[in-house]
Amino acid sequence: MAATQPISDHWATGDVFARILAAMEAAEIDPAGVTVEQLAPIDHFHARGFPATRDLADALPVRRGDRLIDIGCGLGGPARYMAGRFGCHVDGIDITAPFVEAANRLTALVGMEGAVAVRLGDGQALPFGDGTFDGGYAQHVTMNVPDRGAFFREAFRVLKPGGFFALTEHGLGEGGPPHHPLPWSKDGSGAHLMRPGDTVAALEAAGFEVDEVTGTGAKYLEAYNAAIALDESGGLPPFGTHVLIGPQAPEIIRNAARNIAEGRTHPVQILCRRP
């Protein structure tokens, strides 16, 4: 994990769970009775937040009782949603220890310890045996992954034959280098964006059959523009992912929107299968 420490430090240091509890207090949410739905504005830590997870879930062939892997699960919001919606079990892994700690404490708060388990781990070397999972997904993780081949081969290895794998990421567009800071990198360091065609080729080289590639830029742009409008009209709400991003959040949101509008990033959702 030493090689991934700069990425982990970029995402979070210190007590993330305490920061979430403070944000709950500011938003007058009682942690003792908090629900998965109430956590959604903060624990779906990716572009477009919860609506993007719901769209992804709509596209997945999950069956009740399945065991899924969420690679780069962050705070575990998507894992808890999938487990609750489909009646499946989700194992999450993430390289950022404060997120892993917060994820498990949030899971305990909503009483889902039997359905969701999160542990520290690198998607490029998964701590699971071959053919363990019925399906898996990685939502907005691979922008930080230098070895896409290893990441995809590991996802393939831990799936059962016939298992599905879904990926969402900000791909590289044709419009020039992205403006920074962005959620995954302050200045371009630790960023490993790939053109969507190259990502598809890397998935196929790992053995996957790619079923569907959907451009998600227009929806993301709409959501970023809504956040910008909110910021301009007096501020973002007390409970949201910007609390974890920190004081640069308004600039980061504007850059993320501008990159999509200028064709510098090209967000995609990719659905594939282990044959």
Ligand X SMILES: C[S@@+](CC[C@H](N)C(=O)[O-])C[C@H]1O[C@@H](n2cnc3c(N)ncnc32)[C@H](O)[C@@H]1O
- Give the footprint of ligand X on this chain (CB under 6 A): 4, 7-8, 11, 44-46, 71-74, 77-78, 93-96, 99, 122-124, 139-141, 144-145, 183
Whole-angstrom distance, CA of residue 252 vs CA of residue 224? 10
Could you tell me whether strands 265-273 and 159-172 are parallel, antiparallel, or unpaired per DSSP bridges?
antiparallel
**CB 205, min distance to ligand X, A:** 18
**CB 77, min distance to ligand X, A:** 5
**CB 93, min distance to ligand X, A:** 6
Contact indicator for 182, 191 with CB cutoff of 8 Å: yes
Please identify, using beta-carbon distances, which residue of 162 and 202 lies nearer to ligand X.
202
Tally DSSP H helices, then E strands, for the chain: 11, 7
Residues facing 54 on adjacent strands: none
Please identify, using beta-carbon distances, which residue of 139 and 265 lies nearer to ligand X.
139
Please identify, using beta-carbon distances, which residue of 7 and 252 lies nearer to ligand X.
7
**CB 51, min distance to ligand X, A:** 12
Which residue, judged by CB position, is nearest to ligand X in the bound state? 74
CA atoms within 13 A on the CB side of 29: 21
Please identify, using beta-carbon distances, which residue of 32 and 102 lies nearer to ligand X.
102
**CB 268, min distance to ligand X, A:** 15
**CB 222, min distance to ligand X, A:** 18
Please identify, using beta-carbon distances, which residue of 45 and 133 lies nearer to ligand X.
45
From residue 153, alpha-carbon distances to 11, 74, 79, 120, 150 in Å are 24, 21, 22, 19, 5
Please identify, using beta-carbon distances, which residue of 4 and 107 lies nearer to ligand X.
4
Q: Identify the burial level of 38 via C-beta atoms within 10 angstroms of its C-beta, where 0-12 means exposed, 13-18 middle and 19 or more buried.
A: middle
SS3 8: helix
Please identify, using beta-carbon distances, which residue of 80 and 264 lies nearer to ligand X.
80
| Helix, strand, coil distribution of the chain in percent, nearest 5 | 45, 20, 35
Nearest to 162 by CA among 127, 209, 96, 116: 209
**CB 74, min distance to ligand X, A:** 3
Whole-angstrom distance, CA of residue 213 vs CA of residue 200? 8
